[in-house]
Amino acid sequence: MQLLPAVAASLPRWLEGDASAARIRGIVKMVWSRNQVRLHKAAELHQALLRASVAPVAITGPLAWSMLTREEGAIRSVPNLTMLIPRRHVMNAVSALSRDGWELCGQLPDSQFLDNAALDWSCHLALAKDDETLDLHWRLFPAPAECERAFLECLRDVVWNRYAFQALSPEADLLHRLTDRPPGDPVPWQADVLMAPFADVDWRRFRKLAVRFSPDLLARLIDLRREWQLPIPQMAQASPGPFSRLLRRLAWRS
């Protein structure tokens, strides 16, 4: 049922004469409505962060993917809010959002920890207000710290209801789609990749990013291309870099 909105454009044809058509259309409309509420909340958060001199601010994950789909009419459900900011602004962002009623889920590290290399083993802080959750990221997945700057230096504008957000480049966005989904998001990563607007991707730049930060994600895309015959160029596998090899050894030991 969670994937029904993703094929919303095809539903009128598929549901013709189906007794459950009204119920399914109701589910799709409910998901669309919830998305609009969260996008409105995201615009408020975006403005609050900019007022606090936190910039740049990029919307990411399902929040961005709800506006970036390959098939017109497809709807990606938004279970929570996800934003990416520079690491140096994390403390300032949390302080600004706390003044607006957002509460940190867990303990805030002190400023020394935020400047310490130990932060390389974390990626975000979660905040909550009413029934909304915000994942405030400085990194979107385990990768060398240089990815933080690389992802934020090539942002693009995406417009919702005349409001201009910033989102990741098509190449960084696709790399993020290839990662596993966090708890609470029932949509599998494969579905997010299949909904991606591949025509926007510079494939040479994508492969360069993938090889540099996560060769395992490149391998995922190559396997998915083979299985689903995706309309993307053929790409060669990349040898895992030292960071990927370290993560594999740690996973094996655990």
Q: Is 90 exceeded by the pLDDT of residue 3?
A: no
Q: What is the mean pLDDT of residues 104-128?
A: 71
The pLDDT, as a whole number, for residue 252 is 47
pLDDT tens digit string along 18-64?
A: 677 777 778 888 999 999 999 999 999 999 999 999 999 999 999 99
Q: Is 80 exceeded by the pLDDT of residue 128?
A: yes
Contact 155, 84 (CB under 8 A): no
- Which DSSP string do the residues of 206-229 spell out, in sequence order? HHHHHHHH-HHHHHHHHHHHHHHT
- Domain-by-domain residue ranges, the chain? 4-253
Cβ burial of 150 (10 Å; 0-12, 13-18, 19+) is middle
Long-range contacts: 198-201, Cβ < 8 Å, 24+? 198/70, 198/174, 198/230, 198/231, 198/232, 199/70, 200/170, 201/170, 201/171, 201/174, 201/232
The second-level CATH assignment, the architecture, of 4-253 is 2-Layer Sandwich (3.30)
Q: Is 70 exceeded by the pLDDT of residue 124?
A: yes
Q: Is 90 exceeded by the pLDDT of residue 8?
A: no
Band the pLDDT of 5: cuts 50, 70, 90.
confident
